[in-house]
Structure 1
Amino acid sequence: MKKNKKLLLVLSIVGLSALLWLGMFFRLPYYIESPGGAADVRHVLTVNGQEDSEPGSYNFVYVHVQQATAFQLLAAYLNPTMDIRSEEETTGGANNDDYFRIAQFYMETSQNMAKYQGLTLAGKDVSLDFFGVYVLSLTEDSTFREILNIADTVVSINGETFESSADLIKYVSSLELGSSVTVGYISAGQQYEADGSIIKLSNGKNGIGITLVDHTEVDSSVPIEFQTGNIGGPSAGLMFTLSIYTQLADPDLRDGRIIAGTGTIEQDGSVGDIGGADKKVLSAAQAGATVFFVPNNPVDEKILKENPDAKTNYEEAMEMVRQEKLDIEVVPVTNVQEAIDYLEKTKSE
C-alpha cells in the first residue's frame, strides 16, 4: 500500500513538472505583441560622416514580438497593453527564417526611401533607381507559387518595365482575369522568364498573387550609412527621414526635444500606416519623448466593411494615451512635410 502511495506521489510530481515545463517553455502557434522600446536614430544612422551632436533626439519605436508559451499567453491576456495574434496573422505563413528576411527587405526599402526624401527635402542632388520588386510571399492560388521564391526580384511583366511598384501593380491589375502573363525575374543573380496567368486577389483586384516591396538604390554624393543590424520592418522611415533632413538642412529643428514617431515613408513623401501604434506611443512615453508623430490616413473602405470598428493609427495611439494617461503630445501626419512644419512652428522662442 505504501509503495503504491509513493509511486502515485512520484508520478504526480513528474506529471506536474512536465506540465510546468510545457507551460513555461513549449512554444504555441500564437505570438504576443507588446511595447518594445525606443531607440535614438543617431545610434544607427550617420549622415555625411558627421556626428549629430545637437541637443534632443529623434527616436524610432518598435514592438516586441515573441512566440508564446501557455504562461505567457495567460499573462498577455490579463495585460491590456499586449495583443495575442495567431501564427498566420503574424508571419503570413512564413517560417522564422523567411519572416526575418522579409523584415530585412522592408527595412532596406525604408532606408532608401528615407535617404531619397531626406536628401530631396534638403535640396541635395539625388536619384532613386528602381530595379523591380522583391518577392516576399505568394498566395496559395498564384500560378507562380512553385516558380518564384522569396528574395527574387520581378523586373518585367510581358516585357514591360516600370518606374515604381505602383506602376507595376497598376499595369498588372489592368490585365484580364485568366489571361496569360509572362514575368521576368532575377533569382540568385540569374535572369529568367516564366509564364502564368492573372488571378483574382483577396482585395478584389487582378494580379499575379505576390506580396512585394520595392527593390531600389539611392544615388547621391552625400554619404548616408545605416547600421540597423537585426532590426527589421518599414515603420522607422519617417524618423529616418526627419533625422537626415535635420542634419543636412536645419540642425536646430529638434530644439532640444526628445521626439519619437512611427510611419513608413513613400517616394512622394507620404507617411504610410504601421502596426502597433498603441504600443509604440506607450514605448515613446516611457522613453521620455514629449512629441510622438503617427500616421493619420483614412481606414480603407474594404476594411471598414469587414470591421466597422477599425481605427486609424492616430485613433489607436490616442486610445492608449487616454487608457494609460500618458503625458505626450500625439501629432497626426500624412506626409513628412507636416512633421517638419510642426517642429518648426513649435520651436521655443
Structure 2
Amino acid sequence: MLLCLTVSILFLLWLFLWPINALVEAPGEAISLQPMVKIENVQKLKKTKFMITAVSISQAHPFSYLEKQFNPHLSIESTKSITGGQNDEQFSNVQNVYMNNAINNAIYVGYHNAHRQVAKSYQGVYVLSLLPNSDFKGKLEPADLVESINGKRLKQSIEYINYIKSLPKNATLTIQFKRNGKNHEVKGQKREIVPGFNGVGMTMTDDMTVKTNPGIKVDPGEIGGPSGGLMFALQIYSQLEQKSYSFSKIAGTGTIAPNGEVGEIGGIDKKIIAANDSGTQIFFAPYVKPTKANLAMEDEKETNYQVAKKTAKKYAPHMKVVPVRNFKDALNYLNNH
C-alpha cells in the first residue's frame, strides 16, 4: 500500500513538475497602454483605451500535452524555436532591445503624425542573433551594442551591412562593442554564410533614440518584444491630439517602422483570444498580401491577418478584425467609424 502511494506521488510530481525541453504558449492578457505613457502637460485619454495583447510563455511539463487536448488555444513549442538557442538572460535582453526599439519608433510615428517636434538619432546597432557558422559566434552575444568595425564608427545597420559587403570575402574584422555598459573588442573573419555569400552572419537592429517636445516617458514594465509598436504609436498620437473615437476598447498588434509601416508578429491567434476576453471591440492585425511568395515564408502558410480573421470567426465573432498595412490605415479606420 505504501509503495503504491509513493509511486503515485512520484508519478504526479513527474506529470506536473518535471520540466521538458519545450515551452507552452497560451493567450496572455490585453494590457492598457495608458499607465505606461506619460506626456508632459498632456492629459490622459479618458474615453478610449488602447491595449496591447500578450502571449503567455511558460515551462512545459508532461501534463502540458494532456492539457493541450482540452484547450485549443495552447501550443507546445521547442525551447529553441522560441528562444533561438539563447539562454534566459540573452533572450530577455533581446526582448528588451526589441521593445525599446518599438517604443522609439512608436514615439517618432506618433509625434510626426501629430505634427509635434520630434528628431531621431542613431548611435550604433544591437546584435540580435548570430548564425551557427559565423566566426563571431561565441564572441558576440545578443544585445551587444556594436560601436565600430575596424575603427570605422557607423550609426545604422544599413551602413554596417554596406561596409562589410565592400570588404574582401575573407577579410579580418575587429569589432568594438559594449556589453552591460563595458567596452570590449573581438576579432574574426568574414565567412561563407550561405553558398556564394561571405559575411559576418549577424542580424542586428538600430539603436535609435528620439528627442521630443513635449517630453515623453514610456515605461512598458516587464513587457518585451517588438509587437506593441503599432498600439503604442496610436496611444501616443491620440494622447497628443486628445482624440476620442467611437470605440472604448481598441486592441491590436504589429511592429512599427519609423515610416509607419506595420509588420507581422507571432502568436496572433492567442492575441485574438486575449483581446476578446478583455471585451475589445476591434482588433488591428498586420496585413500583407497573401501571395505565393509571402505564404511560403509564413510558419503556418497563412498571413497574420488570415490567422486572426479565422480565429475571431470561431472564437470571437463579435470582435471586428481590421487589416492594416501602416499607421495611417489604422488611423483612417478609427476616424471613419
TM above 0.5, yes or no, is: yes
* In structure 2, C-alpha distance between the alignment counterparts of 1:301 and 1:196, rounded to whole Å: 39
Q: Which deviates further from its counterpart, 270-279 or 322-331?
A: 322-331
| Equivalent residue, structure 1, for 2:39 | 47
| Equivalent residue, structure 2, for 1:93 | 85
* In structure 2, C-alpha distance between the alignment counterparts of 1:242 and 1:171, rounded to whole Å: 36
| Equivalent residue, structure 1, for 2:136 | 144
Contact kept? 1:31, 1:66, Cα under 8 Å: yes
| Equivalent residue, structure 1, for 2:103 | 111
Share of identical aligned residues, percent?
33
Alignment of 1:124 with 2:124, yes or no, is no
Measured against aligned partners, the alpha-carbon deviations of 1:143-201 in whole angstroms (never above 9, x if no partner) come to 11232233321123444444532443354456554343343323444545433222344
| Equivalent residue, structure 1, for 2:248 | 257
Q: TM-score, normalised by structure 1?
A: 0.87
| Equivalent residue, structure 2, for 1:28 | 20
Contact kept? 1:238, 1:264, Cα under 8 Å: yes
| Equivalent residue, structure 2, for 1:82 | 74
| Equivalent residue, structure 2, for 1:70 | 62
Partner of 1:120, secondary structure, is helix
- The AA in structure 2 aligned to 1:279 is K
Change (3 A) 1:260 1:162: same
| Equivalent residue, structure 1, for 2:284 | 293
Show structure 2 runs of 5+ residues with no match: none
After TM superposition, give the deviation of residue 240 of structure 1 in Å. Answer: 0.5
Change (3 A) 1:170 1:280: farther
When Rg is computed on C-alpha atoms for both structures, the one with the higher figure is 1
* In structure 2, C-alpha distance between the alignment counterparts of 1:282 and 1:201, rounded to whole Å: 40
| Equivalent residue, structure 2, for 1:154 | 146
| Equivalent residue, structure 2, for 1:5 | none
Contact kept? 1:282, 1:326, Cα under 8 Å: no
Of 270, 275, 285 in structure 1, the residue corresponding to residue 266 of structure 2 is 275
Partner of 2:210, secondary structure, is strand
Let me know the Cα RMSD of the aligned residues: 2.5
Partner of 1:55, secondary structure, is coil
After TM superposition, give the deviation of residue 301 of structure 1 in Å. Answer: 7.0
* In structure 1, C-alpha distance between the alignment counterparts of 2:248 and 2:43, rounded to whole Å: 18
Contact kept? 2:25, 2:55, Cα under 8 Å: yes
Measured against aligned partners, the alpha-carbon deviations of 1:113-157 in whole angstroms (never above 9, x if no partner) come to 111111111111211111111123322222112322333211234
* In structure 2, C-alpha distance between the alignment counterparts of 1:263 and 1:204, rounded to whole Å: 34
Contact kept? 2:164, 2:199, Cα under 8 Å: yes
After TM superposition, give the deviation of residue 225 of structure 1 in Å. Answer: 1.2
Show structure 1 runs of 5+ residues with no match: 1-8
- Written as runs of structure 1 = structure 2, the 5 A alignment for 1:223-242 is 223-242=215-234
After TM superposition, give the deviation of residue 243 of structure 1 in Å. Answer: 0.8
- Written as runs of structure 1 = structure 2, the 5 A alignment for 1:286-325 is 286-298=277-289, 304-305=295-296, 310-325=301-316
Change (3 A) 1:78 1:334: same
Figure out how many residues of one structure are paired with residues of the other and give that number. Answer: 337
